[in-house]
Amino acid sequence: MQTAPIPATTPSDADARRAVAPVICYPNETLPTPDMALCARARAAAEKTAEVLVPPRQAATFHVPAGGFFRITSVGGPQVGDLNLWNAHDLAERFYSGKTRALHGTHVTTGQRLWSSFPMLRPMATITADTLGWYGKDAYGGSVHDVIGTRCDPYTGNLLAGSQYHQCCHSNLTRAVADEIGLPLASAEPLVHDVLNVFMCTGFTRDTGQYFMKASPVRPGDYLEFFAEIDLLGALSACPGGDCSAEHSSDSAACYPLLVEVFTTPPDALAGWQSPAPNGYDRSHGR
Ligand SMILES: [Zn+2]
């Protein structure tokens, strides 16, 4: 039976339809919750074992053992960072920003987690400290540490402005990963994925729904800290947008380094903790 097409005119009950209250797509009360008391005990016992200073408009990689921590700190001036994470033993398992957004919302803070790609879909890292947690949501709907952006990249720049710019986060991450695992750029590039935008202040405009950015409230000394739920390879790019108050994808913004510090936890301080198991779906997909 064919249904007659509906003309694209406003129906008489349009307001009533718009007034329907939303429901949360993924109620998250049943998500396994992180043991923040255990994280605090582990953090108190953890000792710094590595650090890397990410230069402006560059990226750097780092390793974090499961049960350890990593901290990203603003140093020198306001600067946002684009973060990628992988399972250190299987680069196919990587941070899944879209599902993290679906589970936690557009921006993340203390007590929320970064989830990995299918078929693992498990916590890779739990945020244990956020000195910008006070920011909340501003009058524009903006907030910090978003999982709604992708990463600045040279392809979009070329599409919009015909540019050939090589210091976008996508390229910075590609070079850093290529150097880390000894692959040519073309092989490393597909490993780069959508990021956690550390310290970046973003939202969607209320009228057009467009992705916006504004000057990050980050001050030198502010940091975001994570508990590593699995052995991690991380890569962080100090975005060419600097504080992202004006533009990215060029050398015009003032840019500063970002410090990454890694802390290793002694095994006795992790008693009772287990690295999360892979997702329990049987993967038969109905066959
Ligand atoms: Zn960027």
Cα 24 to ligand 1 centroid, rounded to whole Å: 30
Q: What is the rounded CA–CA span in Å between residue 160 and residue 211?
A: 15
What's the confidence (pLDDT) of residue 27? Answer: 81
Residue 240 is assigned to a structural domain of this protein:
yes
Instruction: Give Cβ neighbours of residue 186 (< 8 Å, ≥ 6 apart).
Output: none
What pLDDT was estimated at residue 4? Answer: 82
Q: Tokens representing 170?
A: 């996508």
Domain-embedded: residue 126: yes
Asked, for residue 24, whether it belongs to a domain, the answer is no
**The predicted structure's pLDDT at residue 217:** 95
- Structural domains counted in the chain: 1
Number of other residues whose CB lies within 10 A of the CB of residue 197:
30
3-class SS of residue 27: coil
pTM: 0.94
Cβ count near 201 (within 10 Å):
27
pLDDT value of position 7:
76
Cβ neighbours of residue 193 under 8 Å, at least 6 residues apart?
84, 94, 95, 97, 117
Neighbours of 258 (CB within 10 A): 31
Torsion sign over Cα 62, 247, 147, 69: positive
Q: Could you tell me what percentage of the chain is helix, strand and coil, using 3-state DSSP and rounding each to the nearest 5?
A: 20, 30, 50
CA–centroid distance, residue 175 to ligand 1 (Å): 14
CA of 145 from ligand 1 middle (Å) equals: 13
Report the separation in Å between the CA atom of 122 and the middle of ligand 1, taken as the mean of its atom positions: 26
Question: Which residues are found with C-beta within 5 Å of the ion, ligand 1?
Answer: 82, 152, 169, 239
Residue 25 lies in a domain: no
DSSP structural state of residue 4 = P
Q: Is residue 275 part of a domain?
A: no
Residue 75 counted as domain residue: yes
Mean pLDDT by runs of 10 across the 287 residues of the chain is 80 92 86 94 98 98 98 96 98 98 96 98 98 96 95 94 95 98 97 97 93 94 98 97 81 92 97 95 97
Q: Which residue has the tokens 């994570």?
A: 226
Q: Name the average pLDDT for the chain.
A: 95
pLDDT at position 2 is 73
92's enclosing H/E stretch is strand 90-94
**10 CA distance to ligand 1 centroid (A)?**
41
Residue 60 within a domain: yes
Q: How far is the CA of 212 from the centre of ligand 1 (A)?
A: 14
Distance (angstroms) between ligand 1 centre and the Cα of 242 equals: 8
Amino acid 1: pLDDT: 67
CA of 239 to the centre of ligand 1 (A): 4
Residue 138 belongs to domain spanning: 50-266
The amino acid that residue 90 corresponds to is D
Q: Is residue 9 part of a domain?
A: no
Residues paired with residue 212 on neighbouring β-strands, in sequence order: 203
Which tens digits make up the pLDDT trace of 150-205? 999 999 999 999 999 999 999 999 999 999 999 999 999 999 999 999 999 999 99
- Strands laid side by side in the 47-54 sheet: 47-54, 258-264, 69-74, 223-228, 123-130, 113-115
Q: Look up residue 95 and give its DSSP letter.
A: B
